Structure 1
Amino acid sequence: MLIKTTLLFSLFASCLYSQNILQNEYFINHDFVMLSDIIPNAKTDDKKLFSLEKDRHILRVKSKKLIQLLKKNGYKEYISRHRGYIQFTKQSPINRSKIIAQIKKLYKTKYSSITIQNISVEPNVYMDQLPSSYTVHFQENSYLSRKGILYIKTPKRREIFFHYLISAKVTIYQAKNSIKRGVQIDNRNCQKNSIMLDRFWAMPIQDINRHRYQSKYNIQAGRVITVRNVTPLDFIRRGSVVNIFMDEANMQITFSAKALQNGKLGDTINVRNRDGKKIAVVVTGKNRAEIK
Structure 2
Amino acid sequence: MCYNHGMIKWIFLLFLGTSALSYELQKEYFFTDHTIVSTDVFPQIGKRFELVRIPSDKLLFRLDANVVAKTFELNGVKIETGKVRFVTFVKKSPIDVTSLKIQLARFLTERYPAIEIEGISVIPRGYVEALPPEANAVFDASCALNGSGTFYVVDANGLRRYFDYSVEATLPVLHTTRKVSRKEVLNGMNTVQKAIPFDSFRDVPLSSMPQNAQRFRASLKPYTPLTIRHIEKMPLVLKNDNIVVEVRNGTVVLELIATATQEGGLYDIITIQKRDGKRSRAKVIGEKRVELQ
Shorter chain as normaliser: what TM range? 0.5 to 0.7
Unaligned runs of 5+ in 1: 1-12, 243-256
Partner residue, 1:163? 163
CA 1:31–1:259: 2 relative to 1, 3 Å: farther
Please name the residue that 2:62 is paired with: 60
Structure 2 CA distance for partners of 1:71 and 1:193, relative to 1, 3 Å: farther
Supply the AA of the counterpart residue of 1:56. Answer: K
Q: Which residue of 1 aligns with 2:123?
A: 122
- Render the CA deviation track for 1:78-126: whole Å, top value 9, x for unaligned: 3232241222222211011111111111122222433334333233441
Question: Over aligned residues, Cα RMSD in angstroms?
Answer: 4.2
Instruction: Tell me how far apart the structure 2 counterparts of residues 124 and 66 of structure 1 sit (CA, whole Å).
Output: 22
- Choose between structure 1 and 2: higher strand proportion: 1
What CA distance in whole angstroms lies between the structure 1 residues aligned with 2:212 and 2:50?
58
CA contact (8 A) 2:206 2:226 kept: yes
CA gap of 1:134–1:18, structure 2 versus 1, over 3 A, is closer
1:281 to partner: Cα distance? 8.1
How much does 1:212 deviate? 4.4
- C-alpha separation between the residues in 1 aligned to 2:105 and 2:212? 24
Query: In structure 2, what is the Cα distance between the partners aligned to 1:58 and 1:218?
Result: 51
Q: CA deviation at 1:53?
A: 2.5
SS of residue in 2 equivalent to 1:33: strand
Q: Residue in 1 aligned with 2:88? A: 87
Identity %: 18
Which of 27, 30, 34 is the matching residue for 1:31? 34
- Distance in 2 (CA, whole Å) between partners of 1:23 and 1:117 is 25
**Structure 2 gap ranges (5+):** 1-15, 244-256, 276-281
Any conservation in 1 of the 2:187–2:209 contact (CA below 8 Å)?
yes
TM-score, length-scaled by structure 2: 0.67
Letter in 1 for 2:52: F
Equivalents in 2 of 1:233, 1:71: separation in Å? 65
CA distance in 1, matches of 2:72, 2:114: 42
Q: How does 1:1-292 map to 2 (within 5 A)?
A: 18-42=21-45, 46-76=48-78, 78-153=79-154, 158-168=158-168, 169-208=170-209, 212-221=213-222, 223-233=224-234, 237-240=238-241
Cα pair 1:185 1:215 within 8 Å, conserved: yes
Query: Rg: which structure is higher?
Result: 2
Task: Give 2:37's aligned amino acid.
Answer: M
Q: 1:153 to 1:127 in 2, by over 3 A?
A: closer
Q: Does structure 2 conserve the Cα–Cα contact (< 8 Å) formed by 1:121 and 1:162?
A: no
Work out whether residues 150 and 163 of structure 1, in 8 Å CA contact, stay in contact via their aligned partners in 2: yes
Query: What is the CA-CA distance between 1:178 and the residue it aligns to?
Result: 3.7
Name the counterpart of 1:3: none
Q: Is the 8 A contact 2:193 2:207 kept in 1?
A: no
Q: Is the 8 A contact 1:176 1:191 kept in 2?
A: yes
Residues 167 and 135 (structure 1), Cα distance of their counterparts in 2 relative to 1, 3 Å cut: closer
How many pairs does the alignment contain? Answer: 257
Cα 1:157/1:31, change in 2 over 3 Å? closer
Q: Aligned equivalents of 2:142 and 2:178: distance in 1?
A: 29
Distance 1:219 1:88 in 2: 46
2:150 alignment partner, SS class = strand
- Mapped to 1, the partners of 2:74 and 2:32 lie a distance apart of 24
